[in-house]
Amino acid sequence: MELSNAEEQLMQILWKKEKALMKELVNAYPEPKPATTTVATLLKRMQDKNFVGYEQQGRSREYFPRVSKKKYFSGQMNGMIKSFFNNSASQFASFFASETNLSEQELKEIRNIIDEQIKEK
């Protein structure tokens, strides 16, 4: 399941904070800050998608992510590879290596990471 841009922005804040009250979430936004009702609506939608949970703290709720940033990003990347590169990781790697402005050093670092993953498998 995917998040909208607004939900993803809020999720980025929540991943960074790990746990936060509504006021802390609103205050973490850059100016102009969204209305509290807007953030509440986003949180409700994210709860329905099972991305966010909360613990009741008196009259307030402390929100926390139910999905890790790594797991979400992994799903997004896999979806992109499936949608844009015919589910071919090699097509994605070819595009990534040739169409981005990576330096020779950065490409070598990526190759080293891949070599390490090959050794582990």
Domain co-membership, 15 together with 55 = yes
Domain co-membership, 76 together with 28 = no
- For 79, the domain range is 69-120
* Best CA proximity match to 66, nearest among 55, 79, 77, 80: 55
Give the pLDDT of residue 93. Answer: 87
pTM of the model: 0.79
Give the pLDDT of residue 97. Answer: 85
Domain co-membership, 12 together with 61 = yes
Number of domains within the chain: 2
Domain co-membership, 48 together with 92 = no
pLDDT tens digits for range 59-86: 999 999 999 999 999 999 999 999 999 9
Domain co-membership, 86 together with 59 = no
Q: At what angle do helices 89-99 and 69-84 cross, to 10 degrees?
A: 90
Domain co-membership, 23 together with 54 = yes
pLDDT tens digits for range 96-119: 888 888 898 999 999 999 999 999
